[in-house]
Each structure stands twice: as structure tokens, then as C-alpha cells.
Amino acid sequence: MAQRLAFTKMHGLGNDFMVVDAVSRRLPVAEWLTPTRIQGWADRHFGIGFDQLLLIEPPSGTKADFRYRIFNADGGEVEQCGNGARCFARFVAERGLTDRREIRVETAGGPIVLHLTDDDRVRVDMGRPRFGPEAIPFKPPITASESPYTLMLSGQPGGLDRVTLEAVSMGNPHAVLQVKDLESFPVEAVGTALEAHPAFPRRVNVGFVQQHRPDHIALRVFERGAGETLACGTGACAAVAAGIRAGRLHSPCRVDLRGGALSIEWSGREDDSLFMTGPATFVFDGEVAIDSTE
């Protein structure tokens, strides 16, 4: 008889997740959460359908309340996910896994702190934005000594053979591009080319920014391993951090994504944490069978 894995479907501004609780019930994670299974569950026609799978585990030490792992729809594990962090916080609170309003979490991208607000939103201490190429990681062109950087592309529509970008780490790698019109820009084509560009040895999430005011931008994000999503929390953080650092934006800044809006706060000092505030929504609970023959 096949064993069954309980899960919860959640989303943060349309960036959707399969959330798995490995705290209440210890699971054989390495055996059950294989890349092939995750790819199948992520399929929107034949599976559950999601951008990422979020795994909640006990912490490895005493400095955190939980460990939080993220797997993209292609089955690959990644370092960080801001929208997922908000869903994680609401899940552990509402399912009784913690009674704390401030939750300290281990991630592969480093520790984060989550704050539950009284209006069911979550304010996330995302840590410090990092701009050094080695932290992203990013291999700048030899001719470029500092941001913004120009990278060469090939085979792009409309003769677009080069792009200018800023590179930021929010615990995961981001490239940020300024565009005049989000709707007409070839997001999928350029996102695909940059995601696997040799300048980013661990691939990269690509954010496309249209600025409305110094405190208001619109953003589309092509995420590595998932394609364009309706929202990307770390992408919003990276876009605002790059804008504040360059003097284009100030804090707090509203970020309009296709799934809704986030508020990002950062002092501009590289030793200070950046904060993201936004919603997290429950969709449904379910189970999937674990077939031992897969």
C-alpha cells in the first residue's frame, strides 16, 4: 500500500507553494522528495501545481526555531524565497507549531527573522543585501569594474544583443534590469538567456523594473528553475536594494508585482537589514500518494 504525504497549498501574491510539515511528522525526506516527484507534483496539468515546494523541519541548532528548505518546480534546491518565507510563518503559527510572533529560521541562504503582524501580514527581516560579485556569485565582464554591468546576449528578439544590469544577493542571486515598458519587454526571452548566462555560475533570478516614482516600482521576475512567476519576494527586495543604492529609489518603496503589492524598507546602509512586508494565503490541504516503485 502506498504511503501518503500530507501537504498544504499556499500562495504569496500568486507565487504558489506546496508546504510540507516535517516537524509534526518526521519524514524520510531524501527518499520521498526526489527531483522527479517534485517535478511531477509541480505540474499544473497532471499534479498539484506550484512554483516551489517548502519543507519545514526542526532546526539543526539552538539559535533558530525551525529550518526552512525550498525546492523549485524543476526539483532543484535553492537558498531563499521571500514569498515562501511569509507563507512559512503563517503556516507554523496557524497550525500550532509555535506561539511566537517573532520566528527565527535557518535557510540555505542564511538566517532570517519573521514577524507576524496583527493584520495577518508578515514582516520579514531578509538580512543584508550583498553586492559583491563573490557573494552572488557573479563573474563580471573583464571590462567592468563596478555596477551597473553590461552583458552580451545572443539570439535575442529585436536585435537585443546586450543588457545593462545590477547584481544583488538576497541570500540567492538576482540580476536587476531597468526597462521602459514591462508589458512590451521580452521578459521570457531575456530571462531565459540570463538565467543560464555563464556570468552566473549558480544561475540567476532576473528582475525587470519599471519605475513610476522614487517610492513606487512595477516588477516582473523570471525565476531560475520556475520561469516567470506572479510574484517574487526576494526579487522585490533585490530590485529596491539596487534602486536605493543607485539613488533612484527611497524607503519605504511599494513594489507592484503581477500578483499584488509588497512594501520594502531599507536604510541604504549595507550593514543594515532589509525588511519586506506582505500577505500569505492558505488555499487548501491535501495528500499525495508516495509510490515506492517511482
C-alpha cell at 180: 521602459
81, 87, 237, 253: the catalytic one is: 81
Please tell me whether residue 243 adopts helix, strand or coil conformation. helix
Do 57 and 30 form a contact (C-beta atoms < 8 A)?
no
Amino acid 46 reads: F
Residues whose CB falls within 8 Å of the CB of residue 263, separated by 6 or more in sequence, listed in order? 252, 253, 254, 255, 276, 277, 278
Residue 89 DSSP one-character state: H
87, 232, 237, 253: the catalytic one is: 232
Do 85 and 124 form a contact (C-beta atoms < 8 A)?
yes
Which backbone phi and psi does 190 adopt, to 5 degrees? Answer: -70, -40
Is residue 81 among the annotated active site residues?
yes
Active-site annotation, residues: 81, 232
